[in-house]
Amino acid sequence: MWAKLALKLFAREFRRGELTVISAAIALAVLTVLTLSMVTERIGQSITQKSSAFIAADRVLASAHKLDTAFITKAKEMNLQTAQMVYFDTMLFANDEMQFSSVKAASNEYPLKGELKVKSSLLGETVVAQGGPKPGNVWLSESVFYSLNIDIGAQVELGAALFNVEKVIVEEPDAPFNVFSSSRRVLINIADVAKTEVVQPGSRVNYRQLYAGDESDITSFYEWLKPQMAENQRWYGVKDRQSPISNSLNRAESFLLLAGLLGIILATVAIAVSAKRYCERQYDPVAMMKTLGGSRALIRKIYFMHLLMVCTMAVIVGLAIGYGLQEIATHYLAQSMDMELPMAGFKPWLVAISTGVICAVMFSIKPLLDLFDIPPLRVLRRNLGDRLAVSRVHLGLSALTVFLLMWLFSNNIKITLILFVSTLALIGVLFVVSKLIFGGGRKLGLKPGNSWSLAIASIQKRANVNAVQLISFSLAIKLLLFLIVLKNDMISDWQSQLPADAPNAFLVNITQNELEPVNNYLAENDILVSDFYPTIRGRVNAVNGEHVARKVSLQDNEKKDEEARSGIGRELNLTWLKNVPAQNEIIEGQWFDENAIGEASVEESMLERLDVEIGDTLTFLIGAQSFDAKITSVRKVNWATLKPNFFIILSPDVLKDFPATYISSVRIEPEQKQAFSQLLRTYPTITAIDVDNFVKQIQSTIEQVSLAIGFVLAIVVLCGALVLISQMQASLGERMQEIVILRTLGAKGRLIKNATLYEFLLLGGLAGFVAALFSDVALLIVQQQMFDLAGKLHPTIWLVGPVSGGVFVAALGYFMIARKLKQNTQGLVRALA
């Protein structure tokens, strides 16, 4: 019986439009979370997949010792693509010339991701290779041709084997980005390694196994592989590499995650406001039912059934619209990025449905319980029940619900706490401010009949309602400002690291005698060049007189000295400079002065690795000579800039008697490549490291990330606008009553319009000002803690926040009221009835 009544009431309320507000709010929450989750997941997977070209695979297993081929067999059984590689350094001979080169021996499947580009001659066109060299053939980088003075078709000797020179290597997807490593690249087939007889017991060789496939298959394979991995084996993906691209990917994923979190907050606010508004509009029908003998239990069943039906319908509609939106969005982004976006998993669906159901229940329980407490006497006294007490328990549960949803979505307690606490602080401050300002409305002696007076009076009359609106406005504005400024700061930081004229090649092994003529040649050909840095290889041998542990040979069963101090285990590239490099920042201590003797500046991560501090003395070993240097400063280095950087910089006096070579970065434009090639022919001992492809890939990835971030930001901005609209709709009924009363008393339409405009202008301006302040503080914390950016304040938004908040809220409120003012008084009365 009660179910039939509930269905009739539901149909009547649905036709009247009473359920549209809460239904739209729940649907908004669901579609927001689904759209953001699916778009961010698909974009994140796509960018990660494309960026996998930097390692020529999705994952790599690396080892200094030969890897078990059983790993490859198992991976193939689990539907993964595989390839194998071996790296070693050796001498390359041709005629009477020789060159120390870095050899990569790869299987036929290489590369699994990315493109290997070659030329058939030094002046030929670049093409994408279909597989690597066949056995007996060798592909060489361009610099090797100049060093050995050979051409295509020549023969070179590598170890005990002869090879035919077949191709010129132009680009390798996984070429190491190390400006101090050799650019003399040699690529052979892995089947030819044995016949070279170069790899012997004790040889310094690096082994790689490449894997590519579905993420689920890779995860399953790694679970099988992990227990069998030795300590000297490493499993890594593109985000594990310490490079500009990994930093960009991590920042992009963090931003997309952050946008999703803010979308959840906005969605929960919309549901809370709409649920309360719907229940308030049911006070009179409930009072009428109680007057006619309806029991509390009957009413409870009816409205709980309404909630279930509304929730089910809204979730379905939200899922349908959300899926459609993300399909449109990802189709547009796929065309803009010129790449196919992978399908999202089940998590976005589960999170969206959970968000809709949990929010609908948690934010509707208290308004529904209030609804059941409406007294029957409200039929005669319409104000009964309007001021029901706010439950602190419900507020606490609501806050906990939001926190848990954010944590569930992000799986990051740190960022969840930062956003949640800053939001609570904003609400607390706004509540106090609204009480002080709105409570003082009576004391303002404004003239009657004035629009400003009417606006102030309206604000004071609805102090509690306006306090809630102020909090909602400010919260939405804060989140929008937060995302917009963060997005601009991130992209600005990326662009500053890799500007349009970023270096795309490095010159290494420049001798002192070649320094001046090389510099002059570059200037004559208008080739942009950075500073020349002297370099020399050296090892940190002791700290404060205590020797560090040297690297032991596992091959010879040597044991590590457990009592020795931990060191680096390898030689470092040292330099000496008078001035601080542009991409370095002194964060502790003082840089060398003119009279500096035996001083050192250490990069911050190296300081931690050596477990030293300012004032400690480092002992360096270069060849058979050793010397001391005292640490006088600590530097923060921007490794993302494509310029030479160093872990340790010494004062000029320390290494003045040591022979050194120089390094510099240059910018080679397409029309300058011929002149640059001539430089390498003239000075064959100089090594040129081409990173142009690397720069292009990073810039391309950053552009794609920026596009994705811009789209996600647009979604969140739209959600914020819808929250503002739902909050204004919540007070629309009461405002219509005031309009009817004012018109009856003879107020002109212009007076009412201006008063409404001024009221929303004051609310929006105040909300924008407070939102700007809290947004800036939260930004400062998040930039430092989550994005590794130099946190800074943004005074500009302190002005932009109030202005944009006031203008937007005023325009929106004025538009909504202006439509109602077009109706005559009789029409408004009928609408209210």
Between residues 262 and 567, which one has the greater pLDDT? 262
pLDDT tens, 29-47? 788 778 777 877 777 676 6
SS3 call for 100:
strand
Q: Report the distance separating Cα 194 and Cα 777, nearest Å.
A: 62
pLDDT band for 394, please (50, 70, 90 cuts): low
Pairing of strands 155-158, 81-94: antiparallel
pLDDT of residue 601: 93
Would you state the structure tokens that stand for residue 690, as one six-digit string? 């081409």
DSSP character for 643? Answer: S
Alpha-carbon distance values, 782 to 417, 605, 746 (Å): 11, 21, 54
pLDDT band for 446, please (50, 70, 90 cuts): very low
Q: Report the distance separating Cα 833 and Cα 827, nearest Å.
A: 10
pLDDT of residue 19: 67
Q: Is the pLDDT of residue 802 over 90?
A: no
pLDDT tens, 174-227? 776 554 444 578 999 999 988 988 887 767 788 999 999 888 899 899 999 988
pLDDT tens, 673-683? 778 878 877 88
Tell me if the pTM is above 0.75.
no
Between residues 429 and 87, which one has the greater pLDDT? 87
8 A C-beta contact, residue 111 and residue 84: no
User: Closest Cα to residue 121, out of 170, 186, 76?
Assistant: 170
Count of CB atoms situated within 10 Å of the CB of 228: 11
8 A C-beta contact, residue 56 and residue 113: yes
pLDDT of residue 568: 61
382 contacts: CB under 8 Å, gap ≥ 6: 284
Taking the domains of the chain in order of start, what are their residue ranges? 1-57+246-411, 59-236, 448-497+695-833, 505-690
pLDDT of residue 807: 83
Of the listed ranges 130-139, 585-594, 672-681, the one predicted with least confidence: 672-681
pLDDT of residue 559: 42
8 A C-beta contact, residue 536 and residue 655: yes
Average pLDDT over residues 821-829: 61
Average pLDDT of the chain, as a whole number: 76
Would you state the structure tokens that stand for residue 622, as one six-digit string? 């270069």
Q: Report the distance separating Cα 725 and Cα 812, nearest Å.
A: 8
pLDDT of residue 372: 77
CA 460 to chain centre: 43
pLDDT of residue 468: 67
The full length of the chain comes to 833
Count of CB atoms situated within 10 Å of the CB of 599: 22
pLDDT of residue 599: 92
Q: Report the distance separating Cα 373 and Cα 27, nearest Å.
A: 28
Q: Report the distance separating Cα 143 and Cα 254, nearest Å.
A: 40
